[in-house]
Structure 1
């Protein structure tokens, strides 16, 4: 290539290359174009990917058919002729393996829990919905009889009579009460632990209670609240009662080998769903546990990057010194490396309880008259909010009920009046039950929403009859109103509270079709394009990463999800049927490979780096996970 041609090419692309290669960065920062002409500088080879459609979400070029990538970054987009013409003599290759596919910005799992997913996905999944996993689909439980039959078969399949059988997914609001008498009827010799769908309740059979040394005398020593939320006779423990017995039963529920296998399954599952970047909101504050997660998720062969957001709830409980709280938060950065990182200057707080346990705080009583629960006392919540607000952090707040939302918005307004901040992007996470009057207030206060549309799909029918009643159940996750108010919103799964499948989240938000097939709250439906933005650029915006990922624009990371069809042009009811071919993550092409992993969840696997788990307190890990839901 002549010096003249090289200068012409650099004239077009030097600002982009400055962001995407060490050579370019040096040139862009320290070397003038005039100095380059006499130097022989080998420019990196550019790869040009072609596709039937490339949906960029770039307003300047919304749909193209070619995207040029260099050093893991996007260099150019446009028609193939335009891209090749701009490259001129620069070394490049054309990769047409996606010629009959559709490329969209890489899907972002804005709010998922790898550790909790590992624990649940490595158990016997007997849940209210189908779970499509890399080894196959686990069908939904039809009723209590079906649950008992399938759990019985799982117990009978065990060859080791001492091996605990852990099941996840049972929902009392769907199937009725479950007690240890039901489980004893299955086996009085094999320990059985049933983790409820909410992850806030567990039922044990008699032998599991015995192995865990859980006795009536133990429960009699609990606090008043723990006693009220425990039933030794039924073998059932929920909320604070579950916290209290976890030190006894955690060793039955988890092992280093099972957790490693579960993390590998979670990795493969999310890759198969097209995820290229994810975030754990409220990263686990146990270094040995995090080391175990890193043994899988920090590996250089991970198909996506993952960031961890500090858990402000736990951090403020560890110190009465506000400055120390912030310092302790910043010190967590050293816990991560490779493909994992700390989400910078972001923190997770908690308002009210979980929707799956019907413990969110609501303005009007639940149908049975019970009240919800606060996950942080008001004084702790306001202290944590103030500490991190004054330190310039972006706050992500778990909130499910409209009364919970009132507390969050009141606290946000108080801090805005006390210390005004521009572009604070306080994120309202989950956004299950809200009221119309709260939408305008969200907009006025500059907050944004991270919503879980799956609540409507999975829960609206049942919660119309149990808990909320028809009106509140059908208006859950009112992102139609939020969108019309001009508020930024994104979608998340809270895996395993919903399948970590961005296309399924899109389908749920666009259609709002419930498990019975009806449409709940049709006025809250959104367009397919807005839903795609919700799992890409708006998800990036919620994490303050919109300049790095979320759309296909020059200078951003080359993160793409490759699909067999265009999710914006298919029938809206077919969005969840669109297939993921694979991903491109920072220029690395990664097809989805279906592998058989179910056996590894039952048979022991060789010891490896993740045996750092063995040093951890499993009961502590499960407590932290439980408190995050």
Structure 2
């Protein structure tokens, strides 16, 4: 027998307790066939010898927004702007560029705005109007839960008309006199996006190619796209076709698991036995459900947005956010709890595990209530339900999540980037509840690692280091008792992420029969002084190099 590949390294960390380490691994047909002595006497078409480097299972980003990020790579980058004058200058430069192109109808797009970089201030709509004139403007907040627009855009969406009403789950923010400020929150962003959507399949393929080639540079071999096909998070009603096309053309450089937004689901009817005796549910046509697809593109959970963001103070909490501007503000749910319950239960009984976006503790309460009712009425599915972000989690909620067997995806990478900003939002009594780690693991909850790209970058090494040291960029510790070990941090992006996504049979550990998806680090992430300081030497996807820093 001749192997397709033998990969060698100083140490291969398999994350499999039955065989924790190896120095060589053999591959046939994109899957692992053996290690070390099991390969004795066998030759291979190719040998990849990484010398003193250390290999691990390929990294999994369990919650990110790939199409959104890929599309935003062509927008004005506001994440590095410091001070509103800098922001205005960047917008003016983009307007000048569009003027030179001679397209008077082209929009001004920007991404990555964070008011913390501007002394807590937001752009003045009058100044934006002066710069942009009649060009529509659409600047995405780094959280994704708000946008900044100008008068031209607000006029297009009808927000200036008498009798305009905010959509359910969103707000066009106005000042004390009732004039729009340009800030658009949550589901109200859909009014703007309706003018831009749908993106073409070809444009989405280009975005996925650009995004996932960068994923490979980070050691990422799999990701979960947290919302496609509907709501304000989707980019086209036929968005899944773009992922298939990208895969078929060799332009998808990591494996995609797709979460349909619950808005993309339709009422389904069938035999009563197919829906736990109720005869109806909610899903995709023909009863397609989670797990459908292939190794490159597969359906995962159904995505349900319950509340907003922490940075924007729109997350639903049981106690006020801190700060003068937030006095009396407890955020809000994006719809009525009973509506959420009916829609989520309909999806669950049709076979879809739930991924409930819940940042504030009030939203987490609702998420746990829905999951518990679903499991009590219809039994537990093979794939665990998830709570996305689980950002402000009370101790009782951590215990309850463990009892219900859920998975959670708090973003450890936020601790460095936004730690002090988030702590200011919740105050000293709640700061240790933010984006937990240790207590989640100890309660028996599945802790899955994720970046939430483009809210923060997808340097998962930086995120893993933040999970270990929990130090914000300003130097303050955020919930130091929630620190986890380097091995646990690595498991959040390998074994535990695979469990949370229902894919442990194929990935998450390096074992015979599993996909040959491998990340090669410059040194061991278990013993290095800083995981964030390590380089990604190479990334192997199904036995083929998707990234090689040596060349």
* Class of the TM-score when normalised by the shorter of the 2 chains: 0.7 to 0.9
For 2:519, the equivalent position in structure 1 comes to: 561
For 2:213, the equivalent position in structure 1 comes to: 268
For 1:349, the equivalent position in structure 2 comes to: 304
In 2, the alpha carbon distance for the partners of 1:524 and 1:395 equals: 26
Question: Would the alpha carbon gap of residues 351 and 532 (structure 1) be closer, same or farther in structure 2, given more than 3 Å must change?
Answer: same
Question: Would the alpha carbon gap of residues 322 and 382 (structure 1) be closer, same or farther in structure 2, given more than 3 Å must change?
Answer: farther
Alignment of 1:58-207 (within 5 A): 58-78=16-36, 82-85=37-40, 88=41, 90-92=42-44, 95-127=47-79, 140-158=80-98, 159-160=100-101, 162=104, 163-175=106-118, 176-188=121-133, 191-206=136-151
Conserved 8 A contact 2:311-2:422: no
Question: Would the alpha carbon gap of residues 472 and 146 (structure 1) be closer, same or farther in structure 2, given more than 3 Å must change?
Answer: farther
CA deviation after TM superposition for structure 1 residue 462, in Å: 1.7
In 2, the alpha carbon distance for the partners of 1:195 and 1:401 equals: 21
In 2, the alpha carbon distance for the partners of 1:296 and 1:235 equals: 36
Conserved 8 A contact 1:179-1:203: no
After superposition, the C-alpha distances for 1:329-360 in whole angstroms (9 at most, x for unaligned) are 734799967832323xx433333223342211
Q: Secondary structure at the match of 2:101?
A: coil
CA deviation after TM superposition for structure 1 residue 51, in Å: 0.4
For 2:160, the equivalent position in structure 1 comes to: 216
In 2, the alpha carbon distance for the partners of 1:441 and 1:209 equals: 43
Question: Would the alpha carbon gap of residues 424 and 587 (structure 1) be closer, same or farther in structure 2, given more than 3 Å must change?
Answer: closer
Q: Secondary structure at the match of 1:153?
A: helix
After superposition, the C-alpha distances for 1:148-200 in whole angstroms (9 at most, x for unaligned) are 33333344444225343211121235521223222234343655432222333
In 1, the alpha carbon distance for the partners of 2:527 and 2:351 equals: 41
Question: Would the alpha carbon gap of residues 93 and 478 (structure 1) be closer, same or farther in structure 2, given more than 3 Å must change?
Answer: same
Q: Secondary structure at the match of 1:45?
A: strand
Question: Is residue 238 of structure 2 the alignment partner of residue 288 of structure 1?
Answer: yes
Conserved 8 A contact 2:448-2:493: yes
In 2, the alpha carbon distance for the partners of 1:189 and 1:310 equals: 35
TM-score of the pair, normalised by structure 2:
0.85
In 2, the alpha carbon distance for the partners of 1:520 and 1:284 equals: 36
For 1:511, the equivalent position in structure 2 comes to: 469
Q: Secondary structure at the match of 2:426?
A: coil
Conserved 8 A contact 1:557-1:586: yes
In 2, the alpha carbon distance for the partners of 1:94 and 1:374 equals: 54
In 1, the alpha carbon distance for the partners of 2:533 and 2:515 equals: 27
In 2, the alpha carbon distance for the partners of 1:280 and 1:185 equals: 37
Conserved 8 A contact 2:351-2:381: no
Alignment partner for residue 189 of structure 2, among 213, 219, 242?
242
In 2, the alpha carbon distance for the partners of 1:50 and 1:227 equals: 53
Question: Would the alpha carbon gap of residues 283 and 185 (structure 1) be closer, same or farther in structure 2, given more than 3 Å must change?
Answer: closer
Superposition RMSD in Å:
3.2
CA deviation after TM superposition for structure 1 residue 539, in Å: 0.5
CA deviation after TM superposition for structure 1 residue 551, in Å: 0.9
Alignment partner for residue 338 of structure 2, among 373, 376, 379?
379
After superposition, the C-alpha distances for 1:409-462 in whole angstroms (9 at most, x for unaligned) are 223333444444376622222110011122221122222222211232222212
Q: Secondary structure at the match of 1:234?
A: strand
Alignment partner for residue 314 of structure 2, among 348, 359, 379?
359
Q: Which runs of 5+ in 1 are unaligned?
A: 1-42, 128-139, 596-629
Question: Would the alpha carbon gap of residues 190 and 301 (structure 1) be closer, same or farther in structure 2, given more than 3 Å must change?
Answer: closer
Q: Secondary structure at the match of 2:110?
A: strand
Conserved 8 A contact 2:537-2:550: no
For 1:603, the equivalent position in structure 2 comes to: none
Greater shift, 475-484 or 346-355, is seen at 346-355
In 1, the alpha carbon distance for the partners of 2:288 and 2:260 equals: 10
For 1:605, the equivalent position in structure 2 comes to: none
For 2:261, the equivalent position in structure 1 comes to: 311
After superposition, the C-alpha distances for 1:451-510 in whole angstroms (9 at most, x for unaligned) are 211232222212333x32233234311111112223221111122122123222212211
In 1, the alpha carbon distance for the partners of 2:447 and 2:239 equals: 32
Question: Would the alpha carbon gap of residues 197 and 302 (structure 1) be closer, same or farther in structure 2, given more than 3 Å must change?
Answer: closer
Q: Secondary structure at the match of 2:60?
A: strand
How many equivalent residue pairs?
Answer: 526
Conserved 8 A contact 2:319-2:330: no
Q: Which runs of 5+ in 2 are unaligned?
A: 231-235, 271-277
TM-score of the pair, normalised by structure 1:
0.75
CA deviation after TM superposition for structure 1 residue 66, in Å: 1.0
In 2, the alpha carbon distance for the partners of 1:300 and 1:177 equals: 42
Question: Is residue 440 of structure 2 the alignment partner of residue 496 of structure 1?
Answer: no
Question: Would the alpha carbon gap of residues 426 and 213 (structure 1) be closer, same or farther in structure 2, given more than 3 Å must change?
Answer: closer
For 2:508, the equivalent position in structure 1 comes to: 550
**Structure richer in strand, relative to its length:** 2
After superposition, the C-alpha distances for 1:33-81 in whole angstroms (9 at most, x for unaligned) are xxxxxxxxxx343532110111111112212211111221111123xxx
For 1:21, the equivalent position in structure 2 comes to: none
For 1:600, the equivalent position in structure 2 comes to: none
Alignment partner for residue 577 of structure 1, among 516, 520, 533?
533
In 2, the alpha carbon distance for the partners of 1:361 and 1:233 equals: 23
Conserved 8 A contact 1:122-1:262: no
CA deviation after TM superposition for structure 1 residue 272, in Å: 1.2
Larger gyration radius, structure 1 or structure 2:
1
Greater shift, 374-383 or 98-107, is seen at 374-383
